[in-house]
Homo-oligomer: A and B are copies of this chain.
Amino acid sequence: MVARRKPDTSHALAADPAFAPHDHTQCAGDVLTQVEVQVLNAGLRLTPVRRRTLEILLEAHRALGAYDVLQRLAAEGFGNQPPVAYRALEFLVENGLVHRIQRLNAFAACMHPGQVHVPAFLICRMCDGVAEAPAAPVRAALDKAATAMGFIIERSSFEALGLCPACQGIAA
């Protein structure tokens, strides 16, 4: 197995979307505003738990495990059983507001909700940071290979493990 979870999972996984510092409060706020509009247009119900779950992921600005999210929700008076978190996360993922990182069994807020985009996730093995990279060409290449085999792709996930710019210096 590769890059398994750390012993201490009470700590969230870092995830700066571009491996570069910036004003989290603002970018989180921007995304939330976009989401509000999008949700209205789509007739979706962004209930308190769902909204708060999204906020938690936006504020954390990194990938969190379902149980990390649950812990925060419970601390704020929401239910403290796993289905509470899993259901909110499921809703958000299905509506493209949150991405699931398979390799980490974790979830990260989408930084480009509403926009049609194919994400790829770059996971730093040293700092656990996760960045969302544009991957339309990647998807196109995979579609080509799939078509050659007669397979029709409906969903795809692209994840890479490696070193982010900051950690490359440290590793060297």
A residues with a Cβ closer than 8 A to B are: 1-3, 18-19, 86, 89-90, 93-94, 100, 102-103, 120, 122, 124-125, 131, 133-135, 137-138, 140-142, 144-146, 148-165, 168
A159 to B125, CA, bound (A): 20
In the complex, the answer to whether B157 meets A162 with C-beta atoms within 8 Å is no
CA distance A27 to B160 in the complex (A): 30
Q: Does the CB pair B160–A142 fall under 8 Å?
A: yes
Copy tally for this chain in the complex stands at 2
A160-B156 contact given A138-B138, A145-B134, CB 8 Å threshold: yes
Q: Complex Cα distance A168/B142, Å?
A: 18
| Of B86, B133, B150, the contact of A1 (CB 8 Å cutoff) | B86
**In this complex, what residue of B is CB-closest to A150?**
B165
Q: Which of B86, B137, B140 contacts A144 (CB under 8 A)?
A: B137
Whether A150 lies near B103 (C-beta < 8 A) is no
Chain B residues contacting A86 (CB-CB under 8 Å) are 1
Interface pairs A-B: 5 shortest CB-CB: A150-B165, A156-B160, A102-B102, A137-B141, A138-B141
Whether the pair B145, A120 counts as a contact (CB closer than 8 A) is yes
Do A162 and B149 touch (CB < 8 A)?
A: no
Q: Determine the distance from Cα of A161 to Cα of B157 in the docked complex, in whole angstroms.
A: 9
| Given A1-B100, A133-B145, A145-B133, A164 contacting B150 (CB threshold 8 A) | yes
Question: Are A142 and B135 in contact, CB atoms less than 8 angstroms apart?
Answer: yes
